[in-house]
Chain A
Amino acid sequence: MQHRRRWELVVEKGIEALIRLCGISAIVFVFGIFFFVFREGAGFLVHGFNPREFFTSVEWYPTSQSHVRYGVLALIAGTAGVTALAMAIAVPFGIGSAIFISEFCGVRAKETLKIVIELLAAIPSVVWGFIGLTVMNPLIMRLFGAPIGLNVLNGGVILALMSVPIIVSIGEDALKAVPDSYREAGLALGVTRWQLVHRVLLPAAKNGLLAAVLLGVGRAVGETMAVLMATGHAVKIPTSVMDSVRTLTATIAAELGEAPVHSDHYQVLFIIGILLFMITFVVNLTADLVVRGIRNR
C-alpha cells in the first residue's frame, strides 16, 4: 500500500516535469528561432549595413552590377498599405459578425456560422493567392477598368478574408466573457438590443475586441503566399489602391531561394526577417498588454 502510493507520487512528479518541459519548450523555440534568424543576418548587420538607406530609400536593387542598394521603404509601405486596407474591410465585418453570432442569432444559425467561418480559416494561403490571381484579377480589371488587377485592392480583400475568422472567433470570445448580469441589468432598464450592444457590451468587451483586431493585423502582416500572388509584386510606394505593390514577406519568399547562401543579399533578406519578427512581436505584445488590461480592471 505504502509502496504503491510512493510509486504514484513519482509518476505524478514525472508527468508534472514533462508538462513543465512542454511549456518551457515554447520559450526555447521562440528564442531559438530569433537566434537563428539573427545569426544569419548578423554578419551584414555588423559591417556594411546602412540603416539609413535601409529604412529611407525606396531603391531595392539587391543584384545590381554597378550599385547594389538595399532600401526597403517601398516594401514597408506596401506591407502597411495592404494591411491597412485589409483591416479597413475585415474589422467592421469581423466585429459585426462577432456581435451577430454572440448576441443576435439563434443556436442553430450560430453553430452553422461558426463552422463556416472556421472553414474560411482552414483554406490554405496558396489557395487564397490562386483566387486572387485567377478570380479577383479579371474581376478588378472589369469592375474598375484598372489596367491590371494585381494590386493593393486585390491583396487587401484576400487578406481581409483571411483575417476575418480570427477576428470573429476572438471577438466572440470577448463578448461572451461579458457577464450576463450586465445584459440582464440593461434589459431591466428597458434598453433596446442595439442600445445594449452599443452602450453596454462594446465598452465592456472593448479590450478583448481590440486584441482580436491586433491579432488580425498580425495575420495580415505575416501572410506571404497569398500577397505574393495577388499584389503584383512591384517595388513601389502605393498612391492608390489600384497600384501594384510588394510586401516584405513576399520579397523574402521570392528572393531567398535564389540568393547565394551567406551573400549580402541573403543576409539582408534575413534582416527583413528580423524586421518582420519585430513588427509582429510589437503587435502581439500590444495585444497581450491590452488583454492584460481587461483582467486588471
Chain B
Amino acid sequence: MTKLRSDGGRLPLRAAGVALVVCLLAVSAACSRGKAPSKNVIQDTGSDTMVNLAQAWAEEYAKVDPSVSVEVSGGGSGTGIAALIEGTVDIANCSRSVEPQEVAQAKKNTGKEPREFKVGYDALAVYVHKNNPMTDITFEQLAQIYGEGETVTKWSQLGVKMPAGADEIIRVSRQSNSGTYAYFREAVLGKGRDFKLGSRDMQGSKDVVELVSKTPQAIGYSGMGYATPEVKMLHVARKAGDQFYAPTVENTLNHTYPIARPLFMYTLGEPSGGVKKYMDWVHSDAGQQIVVKSGYVPLPRGGDTAK
C-alpha cells in the first residue's frame, strides 16, 4: 500500500486506505472490547521524505515487539499534520516543524497540543543529471533558478556548458503543500518569497529524483535518501566565495551543509503506552541505526548538538 502510494495513484488509494483503516479500527475496537488484548495498532502518517524511513522502522519494530503493528502511510507532511489535527493518527511524520496556527487548530480540535520529537536529520540534496558538468551551486544561483521574478532559464546563464541545443533548465519542484517545498522555499529563497511558476511539480520525493535521472537538463531538490547512481548531488554553499559542502552525514552534523533540516515525529499530547514505547525505541541506538540505513542522518550521540 505505502509503496504504491509513493507512485501515482495517490488519491484513490488514499481514499481506499482511509476506508480500510476505518474498517480495521472498527474491527479491532470491536474485538478488543470483547476479548483479551488484541494486536495494538499505531497509525503513522505524513512526510513523503520520511515514508521509507518510517516503513523501515515499522518493519524492524515488528520484530522487537510483535504485539504492536505500526501502519505507515505517506502523502506529505501536510497530510500528516492534517490527520493529527483531526485526531485520526497517533504519529505524524513531518519534514518541517508545525506552524503556530496548526498547533492552535490541533488544540482547538482535540484539546491536546502536538508534542514534537526530533528523530533524525535530512540533508536536502540538489540533484542534477549525472552527465551535467556542474558540481557546485550557491544559494544565490538556486534562487535565480527557482525564485519568482528571476530570469535565469538557461544553463549558460550560470556558466554551465551543456551540449548544443540542451541549454534550457528544466526545473523540478514539489507540490505546494509538501514539507520539502516549504523548507526549500524558506531556507533557499528566503522568507516570504515564492517559487517561479512553470516548474514540474512532482508528487513525491522519489518522483523528483526519478524525473531528474531521466532528464539530462533537469535540476531538482529532494531528500538525500533518494539518491541513485543516475543523478549527481551538487555541493552547496550559502554564497559565492564560501566553501562548497556535499550533503553527507558529517557535513550535516557539523552544520556545514547549509540545507539540512531536522525530521520530526509529532504526537498529540505526551505519548503513552505503546506509542511512547515506540518513540523511545525510535530514539534508541537500534532505531537510529535504521536512520543511517535509510540514507539519512541519525541524531548525534550524547545529546543534540545540531540546530
B residues 82-117 with Cβ under 8 Å of A?
82, 85-86, 102, 105
CB-CB under 8 A from B186, the residues of chain A are: 65
CB-CB under 8 A from B211, the residues of chain A are: 148, 150
Task: Name the residue of chain B whose CB is nearest to the CB of A59.
Answer: B197
CB-CB under 8 A from B194, the residues of chain A are: 61, 64, 66-67
Q: Give the contact stretch, choosing among B71-79, B230-238, B281-289, B297-305.
A: B71-79
Q: Which of B9, B168, B177, B199 contacts A259 (CB 8 A)?
A: B177
A260 touches B170 (CB 8 A): no
A233 touches B201 (CB 8 A): yes
B79 touches A257 (CB 8 A): yes
B79 touches A137 (CB 8 A): no
Task: Name the residue of chain B whose CB is nearest to the CB of A69.
Answer: B194
CB-CB under 8 A from B214, the residues of chain A are: 137-138
CB distance from A226 to the nearest CB of B (A): 9
- Inter-chain CA distance A141–B191, complex, in Å, is 37
A257 touches B10 (CB 8 A): yes
A260 touches B78 (CB 8 A): yes
A residues 250-265 with Cβ under 8 Å of B?
253-261, 265
A158 at interface (Cβ–Cβ under 8 A)?
A: no
CB-CB under 8 A from A59, the residues of chain B are: 197
A25 at interface (Cβ–Cβ under 8 A)?
A: no
B200 touches A150 (CB 8 A): yes
- Inter-chain CA distance A86–B11, complex, in Å, is 24
CB-CB under 8 A from A232, the residues of chain B are: 200
Task: Name the residue of chain B whose CB is nearest to the CB of A229.
Answer: B8
Task: Name the residue of chain A whose CB is nearest to the CB of B105.
Answer: A260
A62 touches B200 (CB 8 A): no
CB-CB under 8 A from B218, the residues of chain A are: 148
A100 at interface (Cβ–Cβ under 8 A)?
A: no
- Inter-chain CA distance A261–B9, complex, in Å, is 21
B 195-234 to A, binary, CB cutoff 8 A, 1 in contact else 0: 0011111110000000100111110000000000000000
A255 touches B199 (CB 8 A): no
Q: A65-B192, A236-B197 are in contact. Are A228 and B8 (CB under 8 A)?
A: yes
B176 at interface (Cβ–Cβ under 8 A)?
A: yes
CB-CB under 8 A from B191, the residues of chain A are: 65
Interface size, chain B (Cβ < 8 Å): 45
A63 at interface (Cβ–Cβ under 8 A)?
A: yes
- Inter-chain CA distance A145–B168, complex, in Å, is 12
A235 at interface (Cβ–Cβ under 8 A)?
A: yes
Task: Name the residue of chain B whose CB is nearest to the CB of A256.
Answer: B11
CB-CB under 8 A from B14, the residues of chain A are: 257
A258 touches B86 (CB 8 A): no
- Inter-chain CA distance A152–B131, complex, in Å, is 26
CB-CB under 8 A from A129, the residues of chain B are: 8
- Tally of A-B residue pairs with Cβ under 8 A? 108
CB distance from B298 to the nearest CB of A (A): 28
B293 at interface (Cβ–Cβ under 8 A)?
A: no
B86 touches A255 (CB 8 A): no
B306 at interface (Cβ–Cβ under 8 A)?
A: no
B176 touches A147 (CB 8 A): no
A 67-87 to B, binary, CB cutoff 8 A, 1 in contact else 0: 100000010000000000000
Q: Which of A133, A150, A257 contacts B75 (CB 8 A)?
A: A257
Q: A145-B165, A257-B10 are in contact. Are A244 and B215 (CB under 8 A)?
A: no
CB-CB under 8 A from A63, the residues of chain B are: 176-177, 181-182
B193 touches A66 (CB 8 A): yes
A258 touches B201 (CB 8 A): no
B215 touches A126 (CB 8 A): no
Task: Name the residue of chain B whose CB is nearest to the CB of A232.
Answer: B200
Q: A254-B175, A257-B10, A260-B85 are in contact. Are A233 and B166 (CB under 8 A)?
A: no
A residues 209-266 with Cβ under 8 Å of B?
224-225, 228-229, 232-236, 244, 246, 253-261, 265
B81 at interface (Cβ–Cβ under 8 A)?
A: yes
B178 at interface (Cβ–Cβ under 8 A)?
A: yes
CB distance from A54 to the nearest CB of B (A): 16
- Inter-chain CA distance A60–B173, complex, in Å, is 14
B78 touches A259 (CB 8 A): yes
A159 at interface (Cβ–Cβ under 8 A)?
A: no
A58 at interface (Cβ–Cβ under 8 A)?
A: yes
CB-CB under 8 A from B201, the residues of chain A are: 233-235, 246, 254
Known A63-B176, A261-B82; 4 more pairs at CB < 8 Å? A59-B197, A62-B176, A258-B78, A260-B105
A-B contact pairs, 12 of them (CB 8 A): A61-B197, A63-B176, A63-B181, A66-B193, A66-B194, A126-B9, A148-B217, A224-B11, A233-B200, A254-B203, A257-B11, A258-B75
Q: Hey, which bits of chain B sit against chain A, CB under 8 A?
A: 8-12, 14, 75-76, 78-79, 81-82, 85-86, 102, 105, 165-166, 168, 170, 175-178, 181-182, 185-186, 191-194, 197-203, 211, 214-218
The 4 closest A-B pairs by CB, nearest first: A258-B177, A258-B78, A66-B192, A236-B198
